[in-house]
Amino acid sequence: MIPAPSPLPQFFDSVEIESQSDRFVFRTLTSHGVQTNVYIPDGLVRIGSDYHYLPNGDVLPDLPSLEASACEAGRLHRRELTVVPSQTLASEQLTMHVEEQGALQFEIHVDDSLLLRATCQQ
Write out pLDDT tens, residues 17-59: 888 989 989 888 776 678 788 889 999 999 988 877 776 777 7
pLDDT at 99 over 60: yes
CB hemisphere CA count around 17 (13 angstroms) = 15
- Residues 108/78, Cβ–Cβ less than 8 Å: no
Nearest to 29 by CA among 9, 11, 14, 8: 14
pLDDT at 121 over 80: no
**CB-count exposure of residue 99 (10 Å: 0-12, 13-18, 19+):** exposed
Q: What is the pLDDT of residues 77-93, one digit of tens each?
A: 999 998 888 888 888 89
Q: Look at the pTM and tell me if it is higher than 0.75.
A: no
- Residues 43/68, Cβ–Cβ less than 8 Å: yes
**CB-count exposure of residue 87 (10 Å: 0-12, 13-18, 19+):** exposed
Mean pLDDT calculated for residue range 97-106: 84
- Residues 11/33, Cβ–Cβ less than 8 Å: no
